[in-house]
Chains A and B, each alone.
Chain A
Amino acid sequence: MKTVQSFAVIALLTLGLRSFAQDQEASVQNGHVEFTAVGKPAMLKIHGKSLGPTGKISVSKGRISGVLKLELKGIATGIDLRDEHMKKKYLQVDLFPVAELLIKDMDVNVGKFSDFSGTLKDQNFTGDLTLHGVRKSIHGVYEVQSEGSLLKIHATYQFKLSDFNIEIPSYAGIKVADSVTVETSFEVPKK
């Protein structure tokens, strides 16, 4: 019986080690974030951009997970006054300088980044977004593309400002719609 138990333990450990050996962690690079909001009633498209995010993601059991962080003070919409209002009054970046996206389950069906080839499109993922001091689940769509020594990942998701206790921005008769669309793209070295 002891032999059986020992075998089982060794087998589990071996499997575990094998699984661990398949895990891979990497820092994201060349990150880029864009968001789109709509100003009503003028149907004004407000398009913000920022470099980032930074962070690390890992692949384990065929799934990508990790934490990405974005310094909110780097967001720019092309108009200084609007940026100032957005950061100071609404996002309150002095109090909440960073937005954090916890990626839970981007399915890539490989054990290592280096094993991925080709392109995956229109895949669903879930995550937790922490913004303005509030953490909420989000759902999004992602795409992974292998290009040379890099994996290029592009994710899109929406959130509601009201879910994160952010006052709906309003200025001189233009009111921003509650829903905001975010697109983030970054690269991961395969090795």
Chain B
Amino acid sequence: MRPLVFFLMTYACQAWAFPELIRFQYNNCTACHVAPSGGGTLTSYGRSLSSEVLSTWGSEKEAGFLHGILDREALEKWILPGGDIRAVQVHREDENSKSGRFIKMQADVSAAVVDDRWAVAATVGDLDVDTWNSYSTSYYGMLKPYDELSIRAGRFTPQYGLYIRDHIAFIRSFLGFGLDANRDVEEVQWTGLVWTTSLSYSKQFNIVYPESAYSFQSQYFFADSYKIALNYWKGRSELMERDVLGFWSLFGFTQKVFWLNEVDWQNKKVGDLITRSFVTYQKLGYTLVKGLDLLLLGEFQKGDLSDASTEINRYGLGFQFYPRPHFELSGAWTKQKTLALTTGREADYAWLLLHYYL
């Protein structure tokens, strides 16, 4: 049962970004999201895009808050409201056992007030409906002295790596950017047409030995639908020190074919013990029809490069389906090989996610 619990715990997520939109030439997250790092509250443009390029059916009006029943133009002039409800059915089976569980993952509301030169945004909610916690709660204030420059401070997820919604992914969960990714952050970002670079300082909260970290990310956009990026993270707490170096890329080969890739190396020092780790993530997608993507997923984690038994391989097939604005259905069936386990070393994991946003 323990692997399933781990799976469930690491699955939950509050961020919601669509880096695969690179294939439509969307080089920066700020077209669709208020936050420069993506995820969270949608801009008016982002809502329109959800019907125009993301959904199989739907209209521009329908993409508005509460399906456009309110006067969208009047509302969005002064506030950008939103919210998410998310639930997942997960399944695990190996040669000895089968188990499954339905989880109410997230229910929150969000709002942002945006001006040309500043913005404030907040999300209040719950990531686990059974026990209240503050992981979902985020907020920030942002100044934009220039269109390209943003200075942001508050509680949110600091930038490192692909900002994907698959928080079960090793690149998120193993590196500590999964469920509890929100931190108290100060961030400066330059958002350009070709280069986008951010620097941030962050600190964990609500834990006994919080990690403080400096992080750097620089992205390079080229050939209309390709992006490569470099990350560095230097973190420290009373218990450990770590350096993480990563590289990721988004390739929109065509409007139908995309590839997300990330590799990271971590050096972690606890006392005198240094552990070097490696994680990677691959997602190859093909848009069968507008709104329906088929996915090929692959991941690898080696918790200790000097110990072969710390390897975990995961690969499988998945899909994501956006029938209309506000609705998403996605799922995957993956095979996972965990060398450290004595039983259930080879297991199938499957999940089906339901997501509705206001």
Given contacts A43-B191, A79-B53, contact A172 B45 (CB under 8 A): yes
> Is B147 within 8 A of A43, CB to CB?
yes
Complexed CA–CA distance, A44 and B29 (Å): 9
> Is B31 within 8 A of A44, CB to CB?
yes
- Is B172 positioned at the interface, with any CB of A under 8 Å from its CB? no
- Is B93 positioned at the interface, with any CB of A under 8 Å from its CB? no
Kindly supply a per-residue 1/0 record for chain B positions 224-249, scoring 1 wherever the CB is within 8 Å of any chain A CB and 0 otherwise: 10000000000000000000000000
**Partner among A44, A47, A78, A80 whose Cβ is within 8 Å of the Cβ of B28:** A44
- List chain B residues, Cβ under 8 A from A41: 30, 116, 144, 147
A side interface size, CB within 8 A: 20
> Is B24 within 8 A of A79, CB to CB?
yes
> Is A173 within 8 A of B52, CB to CB?
no
Complexed CA–CA distance, A81 and B55 (Å): 13
**Partner among A45, A82, A171 whose Cβ is within 8 Å of the Cβ of B193:** A45
Complexed CA–CA distance, A77 and B148 (Å): 23
The total of Cβ contacts below 8 Å across the A-B interface reads 61
> Is A174 within 8 A of B45, CB to CB?
yes
- List chain B residues, Cβ under 8 A from A82: 52
**Partner among B45, B60, B255 whose Cβ is within 8 Å of the Cβ of A42:** B45
Minimal Cβ-Cβ distance residue in A for B27:
A45
> Is B147 within 8 A of A40, CB to CB?
yes
> Is A172 within 8 A of B28, CB to CB?
no
Q: Would you give the shortest CB distance from A144 to chain B, in whole angstroms?
A: 25
- Is A38 positioned at the interface, with any CB of B under 8 Å from its CB? yes
Q: Would you give the shortest CB distance from A179 to chain B, in whole angstroms?
A: 13
> Is B53 within 8 A of A42, CB to CB?
no
**Partner among B25, B60, B114, B116 whose Cβ is within 8 Å of the Cβ of A47:** B25
Minimal Cβ-Cβ distance residue in A for B43:
A173
- Is A46 positioned at the interface, with any CB of B under 8 Å from its CB? yes
Complexed CA–CA distance, A169 and B48 (Å): 16
Kindly supply a per-residue 1/0 record for chain A positions 158-191, scoring 1 wherever the CB is within 8 Å of any chain B CB and 0 otherwise: 0000000000000111100000000000000000
Complexed CA–CA distance, A77 and B53 (Å): 13
> Is A78 within 8 A of B255, CB to CB?
yes
- List chain B residues, Cβ under 8 A from A173: 43-45, 76, 114
- List chain B residues, Cβ under 8 A from A172: 43-45, 47-48, 76
> Is B52 within 8 A of A43, CB to CB?
no
> Is A46 within 8 A of B28, CB to CB?
no
Kindly supply a per-residue 1/0 record for chain B positions 191-232, scoring 1 wherever the CB is within 8 Å of any chain A CB and 0 otherwise: 111000000000000000000000000000100100000000
Given contacts A78-B25, A79-B24, A174-B31, contact A45 B224 (CB under 8 A): yes
- Is A39 positioned at the interface, with any CB of B under 8 Å from its CB? yes
- Is B333 positioned at the interface, with any CB of A under 8 Å from its CB? no
- Is B18 positioned at the interface, with any CB of A under 8 Å from its CB? no
Q: Would you give the shortest CB distance from B291 to chain A, in whole angstroms?
A: 14
> Is B192 within 8 A of A43, CB to CB?
yes
- Is B327 positioned at the interface, with any CB of A under 8 Å from its CB? no
Kindly supply a per-residue 1/0 record for chain B positions 255-295, scoring 1 wherever the CB is within 8 Å of any chain A CB and 0 otherwise: 10000000000000000000000000000000000000000
Give me 28 A-to-B residue pairs in the complex whose CB atoms sit less than 8 angstroms apart, sorted by A's number: A38-B193, A41-B30, A41-B147, A42-B28, A42-B45, A42-B191, A43-B30, A43-B191, A44-B26, A44-B28, A44-B31, A45-B221, A46-B25, A47-B224, A79-B24, A79-B52, A80-B52, A81-B52, A81-B60, A82-B52, A171-B48, A172-B43, A172-B45, A172-B47, A172-B48, A173-B76, A173-B114, A174-B45
Binding site for B on A (CB under 8 A): 38-47, 77-82, 171-174
Binding site for A on B (CB under 8 A): 24-28, 30-31, 43-45, 47-48, 52-53, 60, 76, 114, 116, 144, 147-148, 191-193, 221, 224, 255
Nearest 5 A/B pairs, CB to CB:
A172-B44, A172-B45, A42-B30, A42-B31, A41-B147
